[in-house]
Amino acid sequence: MNQEILEEAVLRPATRSALTELTNVPGVPGLATPRRAALRADKTVRIAIVHDWLVTYAGAEKVLEQIVACFPDADLFSLVDFLDDRSFLRGKPVTTSFIQKLPLARSKYRSYLPLMPLAIEQLDVSAYDVVISSSHAVAKGILTGPDQVHISYVHSPIRYAWDLQHQYLQQSKLTNGPKSALARLILHYIRNWDIRTSNSVDGFVANSEFIARRIRKVYQRDAQVIFPPVDVEAFSLCTEKEDFYLTASRMVPYKKIDLIVEAFARMRERKLVVIGDGPDMEKIRAKAGPNVEIMGYQPFKVLQDRMSRAKAFVFAAEEDFGISVVEAQACGTPVIAYGKGGALETVRDLSESRPTGMFFDEQDTESIIAAVERFDAHIKRFSPMDCRANAEQFSAAHFRERFFAHVRAAVPALRGAQLPRYVPYKADAAASAPRILAVDQSGVLGGAELSLLEIVKALRSRIEVVLFDDGPFRTALDQAGVTVDVLDAGALRHVKKQGGSLPKGAALKGLLSLVRATAKRARKADVIYANTQRAMVIGALAGKLARRPVVWHLRDIVSPEHFGGKQLAIIKWCARFGLTHVIANSAASARAFAELTQFDGKRIDVVFNGISAEPFDALRAVPQATLRERLNLPRDAFLVGSFSRLARWKGQHVLLEAMVLNPQMHTVLVGAPLFGEEQYESELHAFVVAHDLGDRVHFLGFQHDIPACMCAVDAVVHTSITPEPFGRVIVEGMLAQRPVVAARAGGVLEIIDDHENGVLCTPGDAHGLADTLAELRSNDDLRNRLVRNGYQTALSRFGTTTYVDGVARILKRVVGR
């Protein structure tokens, strides 16, 4: 299409008194036989766009986004609309069906499949001249009249009702019994309805030749193929590839990520990076070997970076199209894909002159392994420039041109219309972003407070903080330019995790005072964001009083090892009474909370803490000797650093016991007792005296400059004797480019791959810890490998951008409910 056609224009009616007869237009298969439709010359063509359901932004929604860009004045219809971010709809409102108001529709909308045919037929589009349906389920069943033109862009006929019925029944465990019989009866009804409603579609558009064949098989109709849009401009060509493979996808069964991970676990000499999250995460993580890095959900910039640098993109799903396959090629990255479905139309294999990838024939590990080995043998045949050129034919601009031309050809009244110039939509971020009241019980700068500080810095324009105690944390918040209120916790400040008795009158008075004060401030916010356990209790009560949703950022493993019985009972009650959503800092924390409270798993998200690399990178040019002199540490000793508050469960005594067995080493203890744990500190000092360790154990107390302390030591040790919820110190040690040794339990297992980016030891085992530290001291290759891989892990998986984006996205979603 010429550039002039892309100039901005509005849709204009044809200069005739009525819509001319529709005829079979050449190049537009499937159009109905001639008929007439009344449309006055002074009226614009009215267009309705119908989509199945709006709950996320995935492949079908990317098509919808471009259809809306083609027809910006069209009105939108959908069964349900539970979108958190609706910018891709250009801020348009959506007319929904009665399913929108049914119980649990947000999370269980698919369960209403038997009602969907009825629901789509109740959406009234009779006032429109043209109806465009974007359908992978029931949208094409919208009722239209004889004077309306209905064009349906079909992502697929209803998969689970047609050729994938048996696979669907097996995955849903509906192969036998009364429920199976009922499911089969419903799917039979859906099939009959699907065929009947296909007759009211004037023209079908398929997203691939594969789907066009499905349409022909199911509906006995031809379809025009218009490939879905891929934002190839968002991906830059990269000609320098690194020695790792990539796969990225939502972790659900049909994506077959588990097969890819299993295959690479058997190819230890090849590295695989996995990006994505979903229900199968734990299953996939369990199959990963040390050569497989599972990064979880990552923001677009990280995906873009890894996709650009990867040696090849591995894809094992049978997709109708497969947008990620094209995105990889847009980066100049060749593809190793399952040879079925849409990939056959988007990847040129070795049989062609300018290949962009290759295929394997079976969805199993053996086929994937053979394909990867074959790829390596022919790697010189793949050119990044060829991959990019192939991807460009699937651009969003190309889609808009073809789809608009198709609709214009089908509707005579649009023959004079021109494709509107594409202008990226920018939503008013300030207007749509929720206002947040963050609540924390402590004035001390502990790990939870440092993690909250990163959130506050990033969202300072729309966040206020309430503390129940004054101290260094309040000072840090003031320096960040955040509004802070310190409330008097009264007798409640003496409550500990492990329980204990309190004067009931004093406790009740303090509780009610904090709840009222917090609720008063919450009325000015959209969501309460509780950062600690006591803050969660106050927040849950205040949220009910102020009628605001409450999100708890869970940074503890809620188990008897960490909490007293009364505290666990209170957490369980609050979860049922006043919590809307929970953000856990690790899967270990999430599992313990779910087991204790039976909280709905769909209302629990895992977001790893984010730690900034800047303060560590700023010390790269500072000699270690200078840092040691500043901290009054021995210049030439092998120093092992422990960085934590002094508490028995943190296990500093285990490290001291290991020092007795390792006379060549020194220990640096950074931290102080924070919550009535002074007795433990005294015990540590007594142990040092009793074992004559005074000149080898260095108590530095509380330190503000943790990066400098970490860069001053030779190794970082994390010795918790009970499961750690996350292990912030571990990531900080990696950023300091120091080898890390940590206890094998809790969230630590989600950070460290043993002997790859850190070393794991049995909790409480002083002899094992001593042996590991001795090996670390004598093995330069091991130390270098741990430092190199650890630093990369910290940057890629625990960056502040990923962390802040994850929390902000969840808070916005909760407010959107």
Q: How confident is the model at residue 16 (pLDDT cuts 50, 70, 90)?
A: very low
* Per-residue confidence (pLDDT) for residue 167, from 0 to 100: 72
Question: Any idea which of 37-41, 290-294, 355-359, 394-398 has the lowest mean pLDDT?
Answer: 37-41
- Same domain? 222 vs 244: no
For residue 549, CA distances in Å to 31, 525, 544, 580 come to 50, 10, 8, 6
Rounded CA-CA distance 155/152 in Å is 9
- Same domain? 539 vs 466: yes
- Same domain? 559 vs 669: no
pLDDT in tens, 511-532: 888 999 999 999 999 999 999 8
- Which amino acid is it at 620? R
The answer, yes or no, to whether residue 325 has pLDDT greater than 50, is yes
Phi then psi for residue 219, to 5 deg, are: -100, -10
The answer, yes or no, to whether residue 118 has pLDDT greater than 60, is yes
Phi then psi for residue 586, to 5 deg, are: -165, 165
- Same domain? 10 vs 50: yes
Q: Is residue 726 part of a domain?
A: yes
User: How many Å from the N-terminal Cα to the C-terminal Cα in the chain?
Assistant: 43
β-bridge partners, 225: 206
Q: Is residue 806 part of a domain?
A: no
| Domain final residue, candidates 577, 610, 643 | 610
pLDDT in tens, 176-199: 888 888 888 988 888 899 999 999
Q: Please, are residues 568 and 546 in contact by the beta-carbon 8 Å criterion? A: no
The answer, yes or no, to whether residue 33 has pLDDT greater than 50, is no
Per DSSP, 102 falls in state S
Q: Please, are residues 673 and 647 in contact by the beta-carbon 8 Å criterion? A: yes
Question: Any idea which of 21-25, 349-353, 457-461, 734-738 has the lowest mean pLDDT?
Answer: 21-25
pLDDT in tens, 556-600: 898 888 788 888 999 999 988 999 999 999 988 999 999 999 998
Q: Is residue 423 part of a domain?
A: no
Helix segments in 441-483, DSSP class H: 447-458, 472-479
Q: Is residue 170 part of a domain?
A: no
- The string of DSSP letters for 579-626 reads -SEEEESSHHHHHHHHHHH---GGGEEE------SHHHHTTTTS-HHH
* Per-residue confidence (pLDDT) for residue 390, from 0 to 100: 94
What is the CB neighbour count within 10 angstroms for residue 495?
22
- Residue keyed to tokens 């979860």: 575
- Residue keyed to tokens 């031809």: 222
Rounded CA-CA distance 242/394 in Å is 26
- Same domain? 578 vs 675: no
Per DSSP, 646 falls in state -
Nearest Cα residue to 227 out of 214, 211, 242, 247: 211
Structural domain boundaries enclosing 516: 429-610
Q: Is residue 185 part of a domain?
A: no
Q: Is residue 23 part of a domain?
A: no
- Same domain? 78 vs 51: yes
CATH number at residue 758: 3.40.50.2000
Question: Any idea which of 97-111, 285-299, 430-444, 492-506 has the lowest mean pLDDT?
Answer: 492-506
Q: Is residue 67 part of a domain?
A: yes
- Same domain? 278 vs 323: yes
The answer, yes or no, to whether residue 110 has pLDDT greater than 90, is no
Q: How confident is the model at residue 816 (pLDDT cuts 50, 70, 90)?
A: confident
Nearest Cα residue to 30 out of 234, 260, 205, 292: 205
Q: Please, are residues 162 and 188 in contact by the beta-carbon 8 Å criterion? A: no
Compute the mean pLDDT over every residue in the chain, rounded to the nearest whole number: 87
Share of the chain above pLDDT 70, in %: 91
Residue ranges of E strands in 345-411 = 357-360
- Same domain? 587 vs 712: no
Rounded CA-CA distance 610/454 in Å is 8
The answer, yes or no, to whether residue 14 has pLDDT greater than 50, is no
Ramachandran class of 661: left when φ > 0, alpha when ψ lies in -120 to 50, beta otherwise:
alpha
Number of domains in the chain: 4
Number of residues in the chain: 817
Q: How confident is the model at residue 39 (pLDDT cuts 50, 70, 90)?
A: very low
CA angle 340–345–351, rounded 5-degree value: 85
Question: Any idea which of 116-120, 194-198, 325-329, 470-474 has the lowest mean pLDDT?
Answer: 470-474
The bridge status of strand 527-530 relative to strand 483-486 is unpaired
What is the CB neighbour count within 10 angstroms for residue 757?
25
* Per-residue confidence (pLDDT) for residue 491, from 0 to 100: 53
**By 3-state DSSP, what share of the chain in percent is helix, strand and coil, each rounded to 5?**
45, 15, 40
- Same domain? 434 vs 558: yes
| Domain final residue, candidates 561, 586, 610 | 610
Q: Please, are residues 356 and 377 in contact by the beta-carbon 8 Å criterion? A: no
Q: How confident is the model at residue 56 (pLDDT cuts 50, 70, 90)?
A: confident
- Same domain? 773 vs 794: yes
* DSSP element (H, E) containing 135: strand 130-135
- Same domain? 578 vs 448: yes
pLDDT in tens, 683-735: 999 999 999 999 999 999 988 889 999 999 999 999 999 988 888 999 999 99
The answer, yes or no, to whether residue 400 has pLDDT greater than 50, is yes
| Domain final residue, candidates 565, 582, 610 | 610
* Per-residue confidence (pLDDT) for residue 41, from 0 to 100: 41
Rounded CA-CA distance 515/106 in Å is 30
Mean pLDDT across the stretch 107-122? Answer: 91
Q: Which of 342-346, 355-359, 798-802 has the highest mean pLDDT?
A: 355-359
What is the spatial order of strands in the sheet that 759-761 belongs to? 697-701, 665-670, 638-643, 715-718, 740-743, 759-761
Nearest Cα residue to 793 out of 302, 293, 307: 293
Rounded CA-CA distance 372/382 in Å is 14
Please list, in sequence order, all residues whose beta carbon lies within 8 angstroms of the beta carbon of residue 203, skipping any fewer than 6 positions away.
28, 29, 30, 31, 32, 149, 150, 151, 152, 224, 406, 410
- Same domain? 440 vs 376: no
- Which amino acid is it at 421? R
Q: Is residue 164 part of a domain?
A: no
Q: Please, are residues 727 and 635 in contact by the beta-carbon 8 Å criterion? A: no
Per DSSP, 54 falls in state B
Please list, in sequence order, all residues whose beta carbon lies within 8 angstroms of the beta carbon of residue 101, skipping any fewer than 6 positions away.
none
